[in-house]
Amino acid sequence: MKEFDPVAYKKMVREYQENDDPTGWFDSIYQDAQGDYKAVFWADLEPSPYLVDWLEKNPNKKTDKKAIVIGCGVGDDAEALSTFGYEVTAFDISQTAINLCENRYPNSKVNYLVADLFDYPKKWSENFDLVYECNTIQVLPGKYRVQARKSISNLLCKNAFVLVSCRSRKQNEKENEIPLPLNKEEIDKFITEDKLKECSFLAYDDNQTPSVPHFFAIYQKI
């Protein structure tokens, strides 16, 4: 198993970004795990507690409710959504990540598949009651962050919700970081540009040492 080297990781990501290939490096992270989902360095190995809390407090009584998970990683959040009765599509651009999910959850009801956020099937547009986005936008550069946000918003059917979890930063800070956290102005573009309604917004620091600031926001398409 290859040991995670944060310096080499950031150098690799920057090289791909400079070559206008912003997602070409993703699969290597999962390949480095060599078939062990526990070895994926960014995997929490449990669903987001903020996602679970929202699902518990906002039950959806539709019998055919659909959810989609952006960049599903090793599957924890997708499985949580399935437990709450959603028909779940969970995709990642990495085939290796999808293999890890299928091996980890051989009897899952989740539809795990390889797909590209920038070129997903047309039938997905305006087709989901809940969209979960965790940490995808922040690993993208420049114009791809805008495209990603718009692609995410376009997945929402009427009255649907998108839950956005990400690292955060103050305006004009950490501008060269990898990943690049979202500031308030950027995440607010779900409202100002995509015309979604903000239902709740939480800014918090996690339990790491040192702590890392985050946003957890819920928007609705009206």
- The domain ranges of the chain are 47-220
What letter represents residue 35's amino acid?
G
Of 181, 179, 203, nearest in space to 42 by CA: 179
Cα 201 to Cα 219: distance, rounded to the nearest angstrom: 9
CATH topology classification for 47-220: Rossmann fold (3.40.50)
For residue 178, the model assigns a pLDDT of 92
For residue 174, the model assigns a pLDDT of 87
Averaged pLDDT for residues 189-208: 94
- % of the chain residues with pLDDT over 90: 89
Average pLDDT, the chain: 95
pLDDT-derived band at 2, boundaries 50, 70, 90: low
1 has pLDDT over 70: no
Q: Which residues contact 200 (CB under 8 A, 6 or more apart)?
A: 217, 218
195 has pLDDT over 80: yes
Q: What is the tens place of the pLDDT at every residue in 43-85?
A: 899 999 999 999 999 999 999 999 999 999 999 999 999 999 9
pLDDT-derived band at 180, boundaries 50, 70, 90: very high
Cα 164 to Cα 177: distance, rounded to the nearest angstrom: 20
209 has pLDDT over 80: no
